[in-house]
Protein backbone atom coordinates (compact mmCIF):
# COMPACT_ATOMS: atom_id res chain seq x y z
CA UNK A 1 0.00 0.00 0.00
CA UNK A 2 2.97 2.30 -0.30
CA UNK A 3 2.74 2.56 -4.07
CA UNK A 4 0.81 5.92 -4.07
CA UNK A 5 3.54 7.46 -1.91
CA UNK A 6 6.23 6.01 -4.19
CA UNK A 7 4.49 7.35 -7.31
CA UNK A 8 4.09 10.78 -5.67
CA UNK A 9 7.78 10.82 -4.66
CA UNK A 10 8.84 9.84 -8.20
CA UNK A 11 6.68 12.58 -9.75
CA UNK A 12 8.05 15.21 -7.38
CA UNK A 13 11.63 14.10 -8.02
CA UNK A 14 11.05 14.14 -11.78
CA UNK A 15 9.51 17.61 -11.60
CA UNK A 16 12.41 18.99 -9.54
CA UNK A 17 15.01 17.50 -11.86
CA UNK A 18 13.14 18.82 -14.89
CA UNK A 19 12.94 22.35 -13.47
CA UNK A 20 16.62 22.35 -12.52
CA UNK A 21 17.59 21.06 -15.97
CA UNK A 22 15.48 23.65 -17.79
CA UNK A 23 16.91 26.37 -15.59
CA UNK A 24 20.47 25.29 -16.42
CA UNK A 25 19.77 25.09 -20.15
CA UNK A 26 17.56 28.16 -20.64
CA UNK A 27 18.84 30.42 -17.86
CA UNK A 28 20.95 33.52 -18.41
CA UNK A 29 24.61 33.46 -17.58
CA UNK A 30 26.21 36.50 -16.00
CA UNK A 31 29.96 36.76 -15.81
CA UNK A 32 30.31 40.38 -14.72
CA UNK A 33 32.38 41.19 -11.67
CA UNK A 34 29.43 42.71 -9.78
CA UNK A 35 27.28 39.58 -10.15
CA UNK A 36 28.65 37.93 -7.02
CA UNK A 37 28.60 41.05 -4.81
CA UNK A 38 25.88 41.41 -2.19
CA UNK A 39 23.27 44.02 -3.11
CA UNK A 40 20.32 44.81 -0.90
CA UNK A 41 17.59 47.43 -1.18
CA UNK A 42 19.37 49.26 -3.96
CA UNK A 43 22.42 50.03 -1.84
CA UNK A 44 25.77 48.35 -2.28
CA UNK A 45 27.03 47.01 1.03
CA UNK A 46 30.17 48.35 2.63
CA UNK A 47 32.18 47.03 5.52
CA UNK A 48 32.14 43.68 7.22
CA UNK A 49 29.07 41.63 8.01
CA UNK A 50 30.72 40.43 11.22
CA UNK A 51 29.35 42.92 13.72
CA UNK A 52 29.32 42.41 17.45
CA UNK A 53 26.00 42.91 19.14
CA UNK A 54 25.50 43.49 22.82
CA UNK A 55 23.87 40.89 25.03
CA UNK A 56 20.80 43.10 25.34
CA UNK A 57 19.83 42.31 21.74
CA UNK A 58 19.83 38.59 22.51
CA UNK A 59 17.91 39.15 25.73
CA UNK A 60 15.24 41.07 23.84
CA UNK A 61 15.00 38.22 21.33
CA UNK A 62 14.71 35.56 24.03
CA UNK A 63 12.14 37.57 26.00
CA UNK A 64 10.13 38.13 22.82
CA UNK A 65 10.09 34.42 21.99
CA UNK A 66 9.11 33.48 25.54
CA UNK A 67 6.31 36.02 25.89
CA UNK A 68 5.12 35.49 22.31
CA UNK A 69 4.76 31.77 22.93
CA UNK A 70 2.86 32.49 26.11
CA UNK A 71 0.58 34.85 24.18
CA UNK A 72 -0.25 31.98 21.82
CA UNK A 73 -1.28 29.86 24.82
CA UNK A 74 -3.43 32.71 26.14
CA UNK A 75 -5.17 33.18 22.78
CA UNK A 76 -6.04 29.48 22.66
CA UNK A 77 -7.22 29.69 26.28
CA UNK A 78 -9.42 32.70 25.50
CA UNK A 79 -11.01 30.98 22.51
CA UNK A 80 -11.83 27.83 24.49
CA UNK A 81 -12.93 29.70 27.62
CA UNK A 82 -16.60 28.66 27.43
CA UNK A 83 -15.72 25.01 26.90
CA UNK A 84 -13.15 24.67 29.69
CA UNK A 85 -15.37 26.03 32.45
CA UNK A 86 -14.32 27.42 35.82
CA UNK A 87 -11.48 24.97 36.28
CA UNK A 88 -9.86 26.08 33.04
CA UNK A 89 -10.50 29.71 33.96
CA UNK A 90 -8.69 29.32 37.28
CA UNK A 91 -5.82 27.46 35.62
CA UNK A 92 -5.51 30.33 33.13
CA UNK A 93 -5.39 32.82 35.97
CA UNK A 94 -2.62 30.81 37.63
CA UNK A 95 -0.73 30.80 34.32
CA UNK A 96 -1.11 34.58 34.00
CA UNK A 97 0.02 34.94 37.62
CA UNK A 98 3.18 32.95 36.89
CA UNK A 99 3.81 35.17 33.85
CA UNK A 100 3.43 38.31 35.91
CA UNK A 101 5.71 36.92 38.61
CA UNK A 102 8.37 36.13 36.00
CA UNK A 103 8.02 39.59 34.47
CA UNK A 104 8.31 41.17 37.93
CA UNK A 105 11.42 39.12 38.66
CA UNK A 106 13.03 40.20 35.37
CA UNK A 107 12.16 43.82 36.03
CA UNK A 108 13.40 43.79 39.64
CA UNK A 109 16.63 41.98 38.82
CA UNK A 110 17.50 44.40 35.99
CA UNK A 111 16.95 41.98 33.13
CA UNK A 112 14.84 44.58 31.33
CA UNK A 113 17.30 47.45 31.84
CA UNK A 114 19.33 47.97 28.69
CA UNK A 115 21.30 51.06 29.65
CA UNK A 116 25.06 50.98 29.33
CA UNK A 117 26.75 49.55 32.41
CA UNK A 118 23.68 47.83 33.79
CA UNK A 119 24.12 44.18 34.65
CA UNK A 120 21.69 41.39 35.25
CA UNK A 121 21.83 40.51 38.93
CA UNK A 122 19.65 37.74 40.34
CA UNK A 123 17.36 38.82 43.15
CA UNK A 124 18.15 37.19 46.48
Average pLDDT over residues 69-75: 88
pTM: 0.48
Q: What's the rounded Cα separation, in Å, for the pair 39 and 68?
A: 32
Mean pLDDT of the chain: 82
At 10, the pLDDT band (50, 70, 90 cuts) reads very high
Could you give the count of Cα atoms lying within 13 Å of 95 in the half-sphere of its Cβ? 17
pLDDT, tens digit (0-9, with 9 covering 90-100), for 83-108: 999 999 999 999 999 989 988 888 88
Backbone angles phi, psi at 40, to 5 degrees: -135, 130
Q: How confident is the model at residue 5 (pLDDT cuts 50, 70, 90)?
A: very high
pLDDT at residue 80, as a whole number: 92
Residue 63 has pLDDT above 70, yes or no: yes
Cα–Cα distance for residue pair 107/105, rounded to 1 Å: 5
Residue 117 has pLDDT above 60, yes or no: no
In this prediction, residues 28-51 reach a mean pLDDT of 72
Amino acid sequence: MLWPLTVYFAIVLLLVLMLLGLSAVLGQRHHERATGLPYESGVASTGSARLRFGVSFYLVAVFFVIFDLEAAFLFAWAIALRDIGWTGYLEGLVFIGVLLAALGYLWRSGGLSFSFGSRFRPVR
